[in-house]
Amino acid sequence: MQWLGHYNYWIYIALMMIGFYAVIAKPNLVKKVIGLGLFQTAAFLLYISIGMVEGGTAPIAWEHAILYVNPLPHVLILTAIVVAVSTLAVALALVIAINRAYGTVESDQIDAQDIKPGR
Amino acid sequence: MKENLIVREAARLLIPFILLFGFYVIAHGEISPGGGFQGGVILASAFILYTLVYGSKDSERVLSFRVSDPLASLGVLIYAGVGVATMLLGGLFLDYNELNPAHPPAGQALGISLVELGVGITVSAVMITLFNEITRALRK
Amino acid sequence: MTTYTLDIILLFLLVISAVAAISVRSLLAASMFLAIYSLLMAQIWVHLQAVDVAFTEAAVGAGISTVLLVGTLVYIKADEAPAPLIHWPSLAAVMITGAVLIYGTLDMPPFGDPTAPTNLHVAPYYIAHSLEQTQVPNFVTSVLASYRGYDTLFETAVIFTAGISLILLLRQSSKHRRKKRS
């Protein structure tokens, strides 16, 4: 993707901003969780693209390889992917618990139920 | 979905191979792309397929939560246990060179294999737990 | 020329699936678009020679995440409530954040540069010495399990903690539920 120059970083930032917009603008809790997933995966893409070396091959020892891609970002992002799915699971468990307690997953309706007098 | 013949027979054929592939990915994580996380998720997906096709009552008999809960902690125990074992053998925590003092690179390979096994066990047990808990209230 | 077309097609499909995932009102369709997004990401990472990461993202992102999301949607019987199309204050905040990030990328080294600072310090040591010190051909596994073993230990603990949190949040014994109802 080097023919794009700096523009490829801008596309990854656009993807991140799409997810970020979903987290802060959508009142539905499941949409927020989906937006968080989009944001996280786009951030991983940014990191992996930083570790790319032109002409490098996958970081597994191979006798015909001249140059290897940097393996460090891969290690960090491997950890981050698994942490992201753990976060998604706990977030979905909280959504289920909120749905059980309030009967809805729209955050404005949840706020309205909380402000009822006498609670 | 138990009544659907095609789904049931296809799952019956596929699940052993998925399990085998999961163990293969864990064991060959050092030579090819793979490792503990990927193999653990594949093992969990075999069990999830079984639950989706045959129902939660059957899958509870196959792997109940009384087995998957201790398995989840067993993996972390194996990993930390390797670290403590290297300490007892005289080195630092998680210094795999001590596992084979005559030939340190072989000790490193042994340590990496054990650690990947621990990670694979924990990841598969936790993914199964996540699926079971989220679908808990759907049980009859 | 073929690598250019692959890049363009993948990035274009990625942006479309991201916008679709947050726009559709049906939550089931949104989960499916998230799965498509994860799978396209995995393909881009294979294209960027990151095979271990692509394997993990395909298994975890397109597999487990989708299953968990669809499992949650069975409880939530309603789709997303109708809402105005664009929420302007959030859009302004997002645009400002994006502009700041883009300003930050202007300093970055060219894409794929072998002499970039990230490729100069520890990574060449790992690539040069991993095979003789650990006898493991996969550099990512040797760095993950041996050179950076502490990180992986606590990452496994994080996964374990997620399992425990789900058990605490969602597993209620039937005795407890009967007591609550009485």
pLDDT for the residue C107: 84
CA C75 – CA B60 distance, rounded (Å): 21
Does the pLDDT of residue B80 top 80, yes or no? yes
Q: How confident is the model at residue C169 (pLDDT cuts 50, 70, 90)?
A: confident
Query: For chain C, which residues make up each domain, given as ranges?
Result: 1-80
Q: How confident is the model at residue A4 (pLDDT cuts 50, 70, 90)?
A: low
- Name residues whose C-beta falls within 8 Å of residue A89's C-beta, 6 or more positions apart in sequence: B130, B134, C68, C162, C166
Give the tens place of pLDDT for each residue, C31-48. Answer: 999 999 999 999 999 998
Does the pLDDT of residue A5 top 60, yes or no? yes
Q: Which C residues, 60 through 89, put their C-beta within 8 Å of a C-beta on chain A? A: 60-61, 64-65, 68-69, 71-73, 75-76, 78, 80-81, 83, 86-87
A8 inside domain? yes
CA A105 – CA A114 distance, rounded (Å): 13
A92 inside domain? yes
CA A45 – CA A74 distance, rounded (Å): 10
Does the pLDDT of residue C155 top 70, yes or no? yes
pLDDT for the residue A52: 87
CA C179 – CA C177 distance, rounded (Å): 5
The answer to whether the Cβ–Cβ distance between C22 and A104 falls below 8 Å is: no
Instruction: Please give the average per-residue pLDDT across C139-146, as a whole number.
Output: 92
Question: Contact A47/A77 with Cβ under 8 angstroms?
Answer: yes
CA B42 – CA B19 distance, rounded (Å): 7
Question: Contact C45/B111 with Cβ under 8 angstroms?
Answer: no
Q: Which C residues, 31 through 60, put their C-beta within 8 Å of a C-beta on chain A? A: 31, 34, 37-38, 41, 44-45, 48-53, 56-57, 60
Instruction: Please give the average per-residue pLDDT across A43-65, as a whole number.
Output: 89
Q: How confident is the model at residue C141 (pLDDT cuts 50, 70, 90)?
A: very high
A29 inside domain? yes
Percent of chain C whose pLDDT exceeds 90: 57
A119 inside domain? no
3-state SS assignment for residue C138: strand
Does the pLDDT of residue C174 top 70, yes or no? no
CA A92 – CA A101 distance, rounded (Å): 14
A91 inside domain? yes
Give the tens place of pLDDT for each residue, B15-31. Answer: 999 999 999 999 998 89
pLDDT for the residue C177: 57
Q: Name the range with the highest mean pLDDT among A17-26, B50-59, C81-90, C116-125.
A: A17-26
Q: How confident is the model at residue C2 (pLDDT cuts 50, 70, 90)?
A: low
Please give the structure tokens belonging to residue A7: 């523009």
Of B32, B33, B134, the CB nearest to A92: B134
pLDDT for the residue C56: 95
- Name residues whose C-beta falls within 8 Å of residue C78's C-beta, 6 or more positions apart in sequence: A104, A105
Please give the structure tokens belonging to residue C109: 């080294």
| Amino acid at site C118 | T
Does the pLDDT of residue C181 top 80, yes or no? no
pLDDT for the residue C153: 94
pLDDT for the residue C42: 95
In sequence order, what DSSP letters do the residues of A57-84 get, joined into one string?
B-SB--TT-S-B--SHHHHHHHHHHHHH
What total number of domains does chain A contain? 1
The answer to whether the Cβ–Cβ distance between A82 and B133 falls below 8 Å is: no
> Does domain C1-80 match CATH 1.20.120.1200?
yes
pLDDT for the residue B16: 96
CATH of the domain at A49: 1.10.287.3510
Mean pLDDT taken over chain A: 89
The phi and psi torsions of C138 (rounded to 5 degrees) equal: -80, 110
When mean pLDDT is compared across A47-56, B50-59, C152-161, C171-180, the lowest value belongs to C171-180
